[in-house]
Amino acid sequence: GAVVSQHPSRVICKSGTSVKIECRSLDFQATTMFWYRQFPKQSLMLMATSNEGSKATYEQGVEKDKFLINHASLTLSTLTVTSAHPEDSSFYICSARGGTGGYGYTFGSGTRLTVV
Amino acid sequence: AQSVTQPDIHITVSEGASLELRCNYSYGATPYLFWYVQSPGQGLQLLLKYFSGDTLVQGIKGFEAEFKRSQSSFNLRKPSVHWSDAAEYFCAVGEPGGYQKVTFGTGTKLQVIP
């Protein structure tokens, strides 16, 4: 079945540093990947759509210079949180379009980012 | 713009009892509809999806959902709940074209008591 691997699962970083989160489709090619952010006890909010070989499309209100997305291959998309601040602490989840059933997306297991 | 409403923030049911989680959507045409489950600190697992055809959709773990166009609803049901079903459930709507973005509801937290 379709598997999306997200790494790391947890990361703690100091304020002002950058953190990179990887999202890999292990057994299928994903031309499109999505990055979501989930605040505690809230729903998932789409941050950006990542397309292989082109610039990401960001949702309104998401700072593209702060959340850098790179989708350099058909199996890997990365989200880099630059100059992280405590308010960036959140649960970040990626999904990849493709795999089992095509539309319906396979989700990664998420990354818990804590900025101290 | 598409939107999803899950009116119940928190639901408690007894183990073995039946379950229905409500979901209403807003979309200009017939959207693609999904139910996902999330255990604490985990990612999302797809329970079932509706694209077209039979309006009663069977999913994994004994769940089913019924698409009712007239009510713009896609409620999730299970005849007998197990303790392991305790989790957060998200209804989602996807746009059939374009980037096929998916919009999530606010979620319903299910608690199962013995």
- Below-70 pLDDT ranges, chain B: 97-100
Sign of the torsion formed by the C-alpha atoms of B40, B45, B47 and B48: positive
Which candidate, B111, B94, B113, places its Cα nearest to that of B103?
A: B94
Q: Are A88 and A80 in contact (CB under 8 A)?
A: no
Asked if A44 lies within 8 A of B106 by C-beta distance, the reply is no
List CB contacts (< 8 A) between B45 and chain A: 107
Q: Are B32 and B53 in contact (CB under 8 A)?
A: no
Chain B 41-100, CB below 8 Å of chain A: which residues?
41-46, 49, 51, 90, 94, 99-100
Distances from the Cα of A22 to the Cα of A35, A85, A94, A101, B4, angstroms: 11, 20, 9, 23, 29
Chain B 3-32, CB below 8 Å of chain A: which residues?
32
Give CA–CA dist A43/A23, Å, rounded: 20
> If pLDDT is split at 50, 70 and 90, which confidence band does A100 have?
low
3 state DSSP class of A50: strand
* The predicted structure's pLDDT at residue B95: 78
The string of pLDDT tens digits covering residues B3-12 is 899 999 999 9
3 state DSSP class of B106: coil
Q: Are A14 and A113 in contact (CB under 8 A)?
A: no
Asked if A43 lies within 8 A of B32 by C-beta distance, the reply is no
